[in-house]
Amino acid sequence: MIIVHHLNNSRSQRILWLLEELGIPYELKRYQRDPKTNLAPPELKAVNALGKSPVIEDGQQTLIESAAIIDYLIRRHGQGRLQPDPATAAYDQYVQWLHFAEGSAMLPLMLNLYVGRLGEAGAPLHPRINSEVANYLGYLDTALSQGDYLLGAEFSAADIQMSFIGEIARAQGKLGQYPHVAAWVDRFQKRPAYVAALKTGGPYDFAPH
> Domain 2-82+193-201 - what CATH class?
alpha beta
Average pLDDT over residues 97-106: 97
| Residue 121: pLDDT band with limits 50, 70, 90 | confident
Cα–Cα nearest to 163, from 4, 61, 21, 5: 21
Average pLDDT over residues 116-134: 90
d(CA 107, CA 14): 18
Alpha helix locations (H) across 11-120? 12-22, 66-76, 89-100, 106-116
d(CA 44, CA 30): 9
| Residue 39: pLDDT band with limits 50, 70, 90 | confident
177-202 confidence digits (pLDDT tens): 999 999 999 999 999 999 999 999 99
Integer Rg of the chain from CA: 17
Cα–Cα nearest to 152, from 139, 161, 143: 143
Sheet containing 61-64, strands listed edge to edge, beginning at the edge strand earlier in sequence: 26-31, 2-7, 55-58, 61-64
CATH topology of domain 89-191: Glutathione S-transferase Yfyf (Class Pi); Chain A, domain 2 (1.20.1050)
> Considering the chain, what percentage of its residues have pLDDT values greater than 90?
88
- DSSP letter at 41 equals P
For residues 191 and 120, the model is more confident at 191
d(CA 142, CA 177): 12
pLDDT score at 167: 97
Where, residue-wise, is CATH 1.20.1050.10 in the chain?
Answer: 89-191
d(CA 142, CA 94): 16
Where, residue-wise, is CATH 3.40.30.10 in the chain?
Answer: 2-82+193-201
pLDDT score at 38: 85
Average pLDDT over residues 113-117: 86
For residues 156 and 124, the model is more confident at 156
Per the CB < 8 A criterion, the answer to whether 73 and 22 are in contact is yes
What value does the mean pLDDT of the chain take? 95
